[in-house]
Structure 1
């Protein structure tokens, strides 16, 4: 099926992989433990000499089916799933970085990720935040102890689009691990492999699952990075193809040691949701562009940050990277005379909630909620004023969305 389209591969993946009784969906395997008739086989699985399952914390046949599905979408050579997207990021950083290492990261990132980076600093990882829309800033930040570069494809919540390909070239030249968080773009808009990523992180809770009913995260290894060049791979994982070592270490540390395990029940829901990602993303992107254009001309709106607008600083780059689809996230700054909370409370359809990539359109006052803890100085660095709205656009009818924001922002 390698020559078929994106959705065709995902929809038909399950029943072409020897599912029990010809079921179109992989079965839910809730078992905690897995037995073997021969103790030699049990030992071989523990030692990574044979494929199999040992304990539910390190994976199940159900999570493995989801991992294969995500690997197909990202065109990688393997995936490990986690209980949340943040668990996936924790696994990457704590499994691969050590005290004294240097990490370069975009300053335009999700608030919780920003908090995680500050935690890494407390463990002795040196951190430099740069404007990742400019590859020159990444180059200027390089040090002899630089091990990794981390960016988001489309930044949450400011929608800045990193210079993804150029950064990938820099990482390749310096043999650095390049971690790309593709949550806001998803593999449907573009797989992270195309940007030269070593590892691609997705919050499965968002566009891939899509229905607001399941938390999950994934780390996909693209196969572009040779882990023989990375100094922190433990000796016991330096076996067979060196392009697989990193993911194995992430799995061992992130699941076995840290316990960030995705349950089989949730994995099953996420796998089913992922089948319709193309249909949902097409509708979400179309709605988001229409809403952005409407809000961009509204007298109470100071500015709209959305890559699909011609006025967006990285509009041409986003068009090149994502082929005319720009994701579903809008950053909207209201003018001073507009009361943020009053406007939000007038909405009748759009939900006041924190989440992204849902079927429903969601909105919140970013500075007062998910970015409140980081403080005013850090928010200013990220370009998040007090009257900043983060809008995650859903699949409702376009006219209904525009109409709801129109009445909420109307003069009273």
Structure 2
């Protein structure tokens, strides 16, 4: 069966469902089994040395790779139409591996000023360690172009910003990076490989927080980096001679696996990899339902006089609505909204019965959180104001509940005016 699967191209969901079976699986299992061993023995010591030297495939030690994790990496690679992937313990571990593996003191990074809070914090940390970081409005390619310097190594952008849902001008940024020979790194977490493939806009590396939509059930942490094959690593500095013995298209991921995974140890556990792989099988179904629910909820909230503003790319009123429509299969599960003055956001959230106050994203359940008071609190009022985050802003990660139940829940919890 594996030979037949390898010969034919299938649709997104069929590919994910049957990807493990493209290679032989022990005892005819339909899923790759969970391999919990951290060490891998060889009957021939010369083969062990050959694996360590990269002359033939194999597993060395659980921190650097595992059969269950490798099966998930192959699945993520196929989702993103890439050439290879590396999985990490968390999404932040994946982003941190980009810094640890590819950047050195004196390098320059351009990134979005609307970044997710923890990613923003990470780049602030990087800036304190000798790498210059410029935060610009990624919805405007001109601002990215103006920030480029001779030492610019990469541009980092998210597809849809969390929580205000700004959409980066991905195609134009990708073209700019291609022309300048700069690595374009795109965080695809808010859209997922089903709604969007960053390879289509020239991204060389793609980040996915597997905790979110790909795992999908709020029960496991994980992250991944995928090399799309779009970037020419032969021109990238900081690649040591021992890695240059391999073909240039492998240099970036070999460097990240060595310096970002092996040396820092943010390894994905095999049990977690198994849960993510199983969750990924329903990604397309869940994203279609969650995106439809989010659009219906956004439309209802926008029409309600008790709501001051709604931020969702699927609404024609959104500044990047046309761009989102061009780029993505649907507008995703993330929205945020602001309440009218006089309505306490905490009292409102406490009246919700279906939506759950919680901090995750991409869950099957609808989750809500008061942004300024939680995930963006440590930034301070001035920084929040510069990002357009009002004190009443509520972020919603829309789940797959019945649409009518969601709409009634959010509407009925609003106080009478």
Normalised by the size of structure 2, how large is the TM-score?
0.97
Aligned partner of 1:273 among 273, 279, 289: 279
Between the aligned partners of 1:241 and 1:381, the Cα distance in structure 2 is: 45
Structure 1 runs of 4+ aligned residues shifted over 4 Å read none
Give me the whole-angstrom Cα distance separating, in 2, the residues matched to 1:260 and 1:295: 40
Looking at structure 2, the residues matched to 257 and 274 of structure 1 have their Cα atoms a distance apart, in angstroms, of: 28
Could you tell me which residue of structure 2 aligns to residue 342 of structure 1?
Answer: 347
2:101 corresponds to 1:95: yes
* TM-score, reference length from structure 1: 0.98
Quote how far apart the aligned CAs of 1:233 are.
1.3
- The answer to whether 1:117 aligns with 2:110 is no
Paired position in structure 2 for 1:216? 222
| Aligned counterpart in structure 2 of residue 46 of structure 1, from 44, 52, 60 | 52
The 5-angstrom pairing of residues 282-301 of structure 1 reads: 282-301=288-307
Query: CA separation in 2, counterparts of 1:258 and 1:307?
Result: 37
The reply to whether residue 361 of structure 1 matches residue 357 of structure 2 is no
Q: Provide the residue aligned with 2:387 in structure 1.
A: 382
Report deviation, 1:50: 1.2
- Indicate the residue corresponding to 1:231 in structure 2: 237
Distance 1:183 1:239 in 2: 33
Q: Deviations over 1:249-307 (max 9, x none)?
A: 11111221000000000100000000000000000000000000000111121110000
**What residue is the counterpart of 1:85 in the other structure?**
91
Q: Could you say what secondary structure the match of 1:179 adopts?
A: strand
What's the counterpart of residue 170 of structure 1? 176
Mapped partners of 1:210, 1:11: distance in 2: 15
Give the structure 2 partner of residue 257 of structure 1. Answer: 263
C-alpha deviation, 1:183, in angstroms: 0.0
Residue 407 of structure 1: CA displacement?
1.2
Deviation for aligned residue 1:82: 0.3
Post-superposition offset of 1:37? 1.4
CA deviations on 1:57-91 (whole Å, 9 max, x unpaired) are: 00100000000000000000000000000000000
1:206–1:357 Cα contact (<8 Å) kept: yes
The yes-or-no answer on 1:394 pairing with 2:399 is yes
Q: d(CA) in 2 for partners of 1:313 and 1:152?
A: 16
Partners of 1:125 and 1:381 lie apart in 2 by: 23
Cα drift, residue 3 of structure 1: 2.6
Return the alpha-carbon distance in structure 2 between the equivalents of residues 76 and 219 of structure 1.
10
Counterpart in the other structure of 2:75: 69
On the 8 A contact 1:151/1:162 being kept in 2, the answer is yes
Counterpart of 1:409?
Answer: 414
Q: CA deviation at 1:397?
A: 0.3
Which runs of no fewer than 5 residues in structure 1 stay unpaired? none
Q: Contact (CA 8 Å) 1:319, 1:326: kept in 2 or not? A: yes
- 1:129 corresponds to: 135
| C-alpha displacement of 1:363 | 0.3
